[in-house]
Chains A and B, each alone.
Chain A
Amino acid sequence: MLAPLTRKPLYLAIALGSLLPVSALANTAVTPESVVSHYADIAHATFEDARTSAQTLNTRIDALLEAPSAETLAAARQAWLQARVPYQQSEVFRFGNSVVDNWEGQLNAWPLDEGMIDYVASSDYQHELGNAGATANIVANTAIEIGGETLDVSNITPNLLADLNEIGGSEANVATGYHAIEFLLWGQDLNGFDAGNGERPATDYMAGEECTGGSCERRRDYLDAVSDLLVYDLEWMVAQWAPAQEGTYRQAFLAEPAQEGLRRMLFGMGSLSLGELAGERMKVALEANSYEDEHDCFSDNTHNSHFYNGMGVQNVYLGEYKRLDGSVVEGPSLSDLLAETDPELDATLRNQLNASMAELNDIKLAAEAESSPMAFDMMIAPSNETGASLINDAIMALVIQTNSIEQAADTLGLTQLQPDDAGHAF
């Protein structure tokens, strides 16, 4: 087994050495072993794309900091949106693979009390009740007090931000990751259920008298450090899934019986479909009419985050991943394996995955429509029947496919879907 991972200084633990390219077409027979091995290939390719797109984001952020302007800010935002495409597809690897689940809090923690990071409009800011860090404002202060303890934050580094993430034990104290960067690029969305997202001006990154929002130097340091950390963290995860390397998660994963690998695959698909995507990310926001529970709330990119979450589930089942460069990683799949014993169930599940992707695509189309686009935070407004029905249809499709995922597990002889170490009390 791997040594327990320390979460904070992930970037110090990056495995060195060049990474081998994934062989795209594995023309092997379909066995549980080949399916599980190919799953690791897909994970590797997905995280590689997440890293590559995060590197681009980092470069664009450097360009923004070099010459802050509406154009360089727009280019950085565009890179952030692109970086979400592979990352959201990678989330299916979280559940069941503790190496991912223990790591992802530093990358995709949400929802956040963004007042810990930078200025917020106090009239429009609702933080977690009882969270001492919710108004710490690291950008504006060289020392912050959380839970009676004073912390020196004068020197903003990736390491410091990693240490500050979830400080005080509150999951809302998000100092790092995609959503921290999203907040620093877009700012608060002050439009509630109405059209529009965050409108942070590029001048928030100007030096000297042109600076808006105050403490521009520290905000620049923050954005620089937090985007560096994202790249470091993704490099670490790519290395964990790299083939032919000693001491990686992949090596430990493939040393387990193949049935265990299949179980983790199906557990990830079901957990992301039902509890996370249908539940936390859609149903809660809709039923409570709560834009605080919108996933990408600063950028209003939530429709894409949901869409690519769904695609990740489908990728794992079909053993296919379309890379950012357009090439396709494909090989022995769960679908192939299930078809050998129950072709009907395989066809049903494939149809259901297509159906849920169609529903998620309807949300995406509505949000990106040229005339009167309806973003996710508009869909969840009280009495928006069109929006509610778009979201409810997607939720229902995800529920239905989860049922078949359970049946697939049963058919493949996987009786205990729960991972041994997930800490759920059952």
Chain B
Amino acid sequence: MKFLRQIAIIMGISFLAELLEALIPLPIAASMYGLVLMLLGLVTKLIPLEKVEGAADFLIEIMPLLFVPPTVSVIANLEALKSILVPLLVICISTTILIMAVTGRTAQSLMRIGRSGGEKQESRTVDCGKNKMKNKLATGEEEKTDE
């Protein structure tokens, strides 16, 4: 029954989020409002973590499964897709790699700059090999692909 109550809370927030989606004229779907609502609830302790934890972890675990039906919708849109298939695949695959690399490198550089500026203890990374010395210098990041 505990699990049921957790699901109920998550569904309740999802419903509130749908209301917000209907009321706010932005191209943002309900789930984003819901995510923010849930986070606010947790931060303000209005929703205690243990009241949603189990069900939330379960839903996150099965997330890839939830993407199956929308992806299968490909066969229903075969005609529109045909004209754009090659660019779609090339663009999706290449930019994903690019975005991942740029985001990760930028974030990592900014973290290290922040760290050597202020508190520079606790470096959680395993800076192996060459990079070990450079960690102190905030600069050590510019060479893009050092291995």
Q: Is B one of A's binding partners?
A: no
B residues with a Cβ closer than 8 A to A are: none
A residues with a Cβ closer than 8 A to B are: none
